[in-house]
Amino acid sequence: MKPILVHLHIYYPHLYKELREYVSNISPHKFDLFVTMVEEHSDIISDIKATFPNAKIEIVENRGYDVGPFIHVLNQVNLDDYSYVVKLHTKRDMAKGSLLHYFDVSGSKWRNYALDFISTANKFKYCIQEFEKNNNLGMVSNYHLICNKELDDKNAKKETIQLLKKLGYQADAYGFVAGTMFVVRAKLLNPLLRLQLNIKDFDIPDKKHSSTLAHTIERLLGCLVLIEKQKILDVLTPKQYLIPIQKLLLRLKFFAFRKKISSRGMITIKICKIPVYRRKIND
């Protein structure tokens, strides 16, 4: 097996130590670590150099969330030198009541789901073993975050399909990992480089997290796996056949009853999608 390419993007410095432990779980596999951050934090840099002496550390522009820096790293390497790519970043806590396709991802749940594949050395070892055994396995993440076109944003989906066509592919398969933390076969990312993107092509993030090139590439990363007839799977969760049933039950639950708190502090309760109660929290 060739080495593993690992990219760690640090935006929230207080989460670095957590990610450091996860990167350590990649051993004893040989890997090259690339670390990007948008501001220089001398304490973190010192820690990285002490823990991972061969790591390449770079301060980059704050463009494209974690995706812009990922493209920046891919432009510096030859993907053919690697068997797999691990993409990690400091995912912030989500607001109370946050949902992703009906799954509760509030607080640290989204981050914990995203990092599950690398949360222990044994889990990561198992993932690599599954890749080595199954030639049809292209990308691994947690099932809570593996998305398809059914519930995706229409504009993001449209832009992704346009990029696929630009690369010469028919958009006959669509799926991705929300939050872009995963391990993937390195060769599957090669078509991405044909777009000749660099970090300056990406927008500076805004507070609204509006649709940008970064969100389109997030989806494209998954689609590049699927168009090669490879699968995006959670190999760590038993009883995979129960996942569609779980999703269906959640959809029925939120159709029957939904309580939502908006960013402006407005509580809305809906029954069968019909608003039956609305009140401002501070009233």
What pLDDT does 278 receive?
81
Q: Does 273 lie in the same domain as 198?
A: no
Whether the upstream peptide bond of residue 28 has omega within 30° of 0, thus cis, is yes
State which amino acid sits at residue 174.
Y
Q: Does 141 lie in the same domain as 127?
A: yes
Q: Does 139 lie in the same domain as 272?
A: no
CB 70 within 8 A of CB 180: yes
Q: Does 121 lie in the same domain as 46?
A: yes
How distant, in Å, are the alpha carbons of 13, 80, 132, 136 from that of 2?
31, 9, 12, 18
Q: Does 90 lie in the same domain as 64?
A: yes
Contact partners, residue 248, CB within 8 Å, separation at least 6: none
* Mean pLDDT for the stretch of residues 119-141: 97
Q: Does 252 lie in the same domain as 220?
A: no
Q: pLDDT tens digits for 14-42?
A: 999 999 999 999 998 999 999 999 999 99
Q: What is the CATH number of the domain that holds 99?
A: 3.90.550
CB 187 within 8 A of CB 79: yes
| pLDDT of 106 strictly over 80 | yes
* Mean pLDDT for the stretch of residues 222-226: 96
Per the structure, the complete domain to which residue 278 belongs is given by: 238-283
Domain total in the chain: 2
Q: Does 243 lie in the same domain as 222?
A: no
Q: Does 192 lie in the same domain as 142?
A: yes
Residue 124, SS3 per DSSP: helix
pLDDT bracket for residue 151 (50, 70, 90): low
Q: Does 139 lie in the same domain as 45?
A: yes
Nearest to 138 by CA among 164, 171, 177, 103: 177
Q: Does 221 lie in the same domain as 246?
A: no
Q: Does 210 lie in the same domain as 254?
A: no
Residue with structure tokens 């997290």? 209
pTM listed for this prediction: 0.86
Which percentage of the chain shows pLDDT scores above 70?
86
